A and B are shown apart, each in its own frame.
Chain A
Amino acid sequence: MLRIVLTGDTLSLAGVLSREEAGRALTDIRGRLAASAPGRMHLDLSGLERIDSAGVAMIDQLRQELQARGLEAELTRVPAQVSEALKLFSAPAAPAPTPQVRESLFYRVGDAAVKAAHTAWIMLYLIADTLYFAVVGLFNRRGIRKGEFINQSILIGVNALPIVALISFLIGFILALQSAAQLRQFGAAIYVADLIAIAMTREMGPLITAILFAGRSGSAIAAELATMGVTEETDALRSMGLNPTRYVLVPKFYAITLTMPLLTVLSIIIGIGGAMVIGYSYLGIGPKPFYQEVMTVLFFRDILTGLIKSVVFAWIIALVGAYYGFSARGGSEDVGRVTTAAVVASIFWVILADSLLGLVFYFGQGLEY
């Protein structure tokens, strides 16, 4: 308990001045001294039994506030034990926080442009490095961990199989259901097969797989590389003469390049399967005529379109994930930030690339495509 007594120009504190009391005491004393005129006064500490660092901070704060009003407060009759604590914990005023400077608009625009150029430059480096080591790695296995390719193929590809299959089935199913309702009105129900076959092969198959991969593997790549950077593992690899891109990223790059097209094919087949279920149960089209219809409309180049897209998407996901992973700076909280950024950015770039490739294939094939 702290007792505060004000008599004349002497303020006496007695009892225990600890962190439980300090806040309340400060407000209390401020109130009592609010009307005091400038001059000198005494802080009598003779009755203090104990003081802790919060108590010392309180006395410092009080004296500083009083001094600002021209009131000089002198400590008197300080007990030995209290004086030790005062010596140890007494500090000059805490520095005022440095104010944030707001940059001008021109500065910020320029800064953003420089940063964007820098990002593009680093990305180019990363792409060049990765492709170079990926090609070199085909002939020379040095600098890549043994068994890592198989390991990563399982992690990235095989483990994604159930979720890709499930989502593809549902998308095929829903697309068929929605279009069937429309086409049936024109007696064109069988064209559901054409529609789904084309849509799944050219667009939906690659896109569904890519989006799932971005969420599963893009994020994992970014998080792993970011963690390695934060915990100095990448530095350690470099110090052992290993290139982190080659050692960590290239096996993942192989794995995603191999497994994503395979899963895309699976996605297409299962999506069409989902549509078949609607054809059979809702439109009365048996599996056989449905299959025949699909086969008349699908050409090899459709499949090729889908596969090319899926490889491009795979590379985007791996490289964007790696870019963000390597860009992590600072501590563990940055890992979360770059992981999120990697997923959002790779989905964006996948969809942008999808649009561009769509245009290329469309005009590249002539209008009948």
Chain B
Amino acid sequence: MEREREMREIVRVRGLHAGYDEEEILHDISLTALAGDVTVILGASGCGKTTLLKHLIRLYVPSRGSIELFGREITTMDEPEFDELLQQVGVLFQNGALLNSISVAENVAIPLEQHTTLPPELIARLVHTKLRLVEMDQALDKRPAELSGGMRKRAALARAIILDPPLLFCDEPSAGLDPTTSAGLDYLLLKLRDELGMSMVIVTHVVASIKRIADRCIFMDQGEVLFSGTLKEAESSGLEKIERFFREG
């Protein structure tokens, strides 16, 4: 039983201390996300969710602690090995982070052009497929600057899942979307989970969305993990902050 759980740990963080320059933002974070699950990270604005996510993909190096993805320690991994591993990981940034100088389709094609040997006609087809999944196939040739905030988010999600990564990190995928589109996006994420077995770590504040997608949730507060467990456990945890979150969110 214990062993089986260990096998399923796709993200495992132990005793993580991290921040920017001098300032420590994350104090002693420990958490796990299981393979095939949607793990939601929630918490008040500014509590360090984005910071945590950026450390999970090694954009910053923690001052202390260990981070394992797919059971492999990434903090000490060398560059080429980590680049290899990153192909198994899709990332959706909080503001989309599309490259502004090229079209939406070209943005989505970047990982395919860099990491595969697919011929152009298949690349075009894949780009179209993924943009259709996020209902953005009408905007193929548009520049990111010509899109609305929510459209940028969706195009960026298409880019994040273009390589069918087994592990997906999303920073507030439904921020800036209307409830209907947001729900559509949630169902897409669930489909990706169920049909491709994609594991996801998703930062979000939207309670409706959490209720739809979360298998497990991790509640952060001021750089610490306040609670982690299933959604049901969270709702009946007896912790004032969490109950208020679900009541008022």
Contacts and interface: CB of A to CB of B under 8 A. Distances in A.
Interface of A: 19-20, 22-24, 26-27, 52-54, 56-58, 60-61, 84-85, 88-91, 93-95, 97-98, 230, 329-334
A363 to B, nearest CB: 49
Nearest to B126: A57
Contacts, number: 82
A334 B145 CA distance: 10
Contacts of B59: none
User: Interface majority SS on A: helix, strand, loop or mixed?
Assistant: helix
A54 B124 CA distance: 11
Interface range for B:
20 to 34
Nearest to A332: B100
Given A330-B143, A331-B144, A54 B127 contact: no
Contact of A54 (B118, B128, B140): B118
Given A20-B116, A23-B119, A54-B118, A329 B145 contact: yes
A95 B112 CA distance: 19
User: Interface majority SS on B: helix, strand, loop or mixed?
Assistant: helix
A23 B125 CA distance: 12
B85 to A, nearest CB: 16
Given A331-B101, A331-B144, A88 B122 contact: no
A95 B164 CA distance: 22
Interface string B138-152: 001101111000000
Nearest to B164: A52
A56 B145 contact: no
B191 A26 contact: no
Nearest to A83: B195
B100 A57 contact: no
A54 B133 CA distance: 14
Given A22-B122, A333-B101, A94 B127 contact: yes
Given A19-B116, A94-B124, A53 B101 contact: no
A53 B111 CA distance: 14
B159 interface: no
A48 to B, nearest CB: 15
B147 to A, nearest CB: 10
A269 to B, nearest CB: 45
